[in-house]
Amino acid sequence: MADGIALGIVGFGIMGERLARFAAGHAQVRIAGVWDPAPEAAARVAAAAPGVPVMPSAEAVIAACDCLYVASPPAFHLAHAQAAFAAGKAAFLEKPLSVDVAAARGFVAAAEASGARGAVNFPMASSPAVAQMRAWREAIGTPREAAITIAFAAWPRSWQRDAAAWLDRREQGGFTREVVSHFLFLTRRQLGPMVLEAARARFDASGRSETAIAARLTAGGVPVALSGGVGTTLADDHNAWLLEGATGAIRLRDWSFAERRGADGVWSAAPDALPNDRMRPMVLQRQLDGVAALTRGQPHHLATLREALDVQEVVEGILAQSA
């Protein structure tokens, strides 16, 4: 690690490519190699990360790295991470941990027991907008209730359509796993452990992912209402996480706008608020700072395996309740 953390990437889809681009300019992280079974992956790697070797197998990437970034489809997350841990390497996983809750429970228990270095890529752990909301928390008083609202013009979103073969399948895909999970992580970190009380999910076509969800849960004892649907906005996606307190309210809107409600009922954004495409570079750089700390065995701010398991338990609990 003398010349920086060697990060290997398994899976070079949208997320693998995105992290590779930002890692190229990071002071503490370098890309050691990439593996993806798709024949066209080599051309994508050459365009996004010139000079980074495309390796013949996941095992070769693990051997070459200090930390493995697991950006493959969800069904393969645990196997790749387990292989990295077995080789004494750290692992940074895309969410969800898995689509198999029992397997994820066993994986997390084993990782915790062995002291394995693992974390999950929930970027809200590094979001300046989330940090701003945390700074406002005291001003709104004791939390009373929270609400999560998620909407999409279509699923998958326009920039994800090349991955529709799994993103729009019931087995691994769907917006609850891919998007709602981020807001459940935010809820878990802001308010505390979550308990799913009631849920329903609508599936309009056999084998396809969900088109609408609704749920009630608590987080740290605070009631949380969740709703999401496809075809309910003209935007690629629209979302809001709202926390009502005894003396005010705050919300995160469209991923990156921290806002608070004034006495006049009008919502105002933080003065330094940025749209998500402009905030993302800062978020990913800080995520990579966390990856470097994780790999060195130092304290970090990334989502823990246990937090990701808590999120997965709720996500799969919602999807199990077909309307």
3-state secondary structure of 57: coil
**CATH at residue 240:** 3.30.360.10
**Residues 174, 315: one domain?**
yes
Which alpha helices (H) appear in 38-141, and where do they start and end? 41-48, 58-64, 77-86, 101-114, 128-136
- pLDDT of 323 > 70? The answer is no
**Residues 138, 263: one domain?**
yes
**CATH at residue 26:** 3.40.50.720
**Residues 33, 87: one domain?**
yes
The pLDDT score that the predictor gives to residue 1 is 59
- pLDDT of 279 > 90? The answer is yes
Give the C-alpha separation, 198 to 200, whole Å: 7
Mean pLDDT, residues 54-60 taken together: 96
The pLDDT score that the predictor gives to residue 69 is 98
Whether the CB-CB separation of 312 and 96 falls below 8 Å is answered with yes
Label residue 294 exposed, middle or buried (CB < 10 Å: 0-12, 13-18, 19+). Answer: buried
2: pLDDT confidence band, cut at 50, 70 and 90?
low
The residues, ordered by sequence, that sit 6+ positions from 277 with a Cβ below 8 Å of its Cβ are none
**Which among 83, 75, 122 has a CA at the least distance from the CA of 103?**
75
**Residues 211, 315: one domain?**
yes
**Residues 69, 85: one domain?**
yes
**Residues 256, 287: one domain?**
no
What type of residue sits at position 291?
V
Our count of domains for the chain comes to: 2
Give the C-alpha separation, 182 to 279, whole Å: 16
Interior angle at CA 45, CA 41 and CA 47, nearest 5: 120
> Model confidence over 263-275: pLDDT tens digits?
899 999 999 999 9
**Residues 98, 62: one domain?**
yes
Question: Considering only 34-43, 98-107, 218-227, 273-282, which range has the smallest mean pLDDT?
Answer: 34-43
The residue range of the domain holding 261 is: 125-274+311-319
Whether the CB-CB separation of 10 and 35 falls below 8 Å is answered with yes
The residue behind tokens 């905030």 is: 279
> Model confidence over 179-224: pLDDT tens digits?
999 999 999 999 999 999 999 999 999 999 999 999 999 999 999 9
The residue behind tokens 């009630």 is: 216
**Residues 132, 261: one domain?**
yes
> Model confidence over 143-181: pLDDT tens digits?
999 999 999 999 999 989 888 888 999 999 999 999 999
Label residue 62 exposed, middle or buried (CB < 10 Å: 0-12, 13-18, 19+). Answer: buried
- pLDDT of 320 > 70? The answer is yes
**Residues 161, 264: one domain?**
yes
Reading the block at residue 260, the tokens are 């608070």
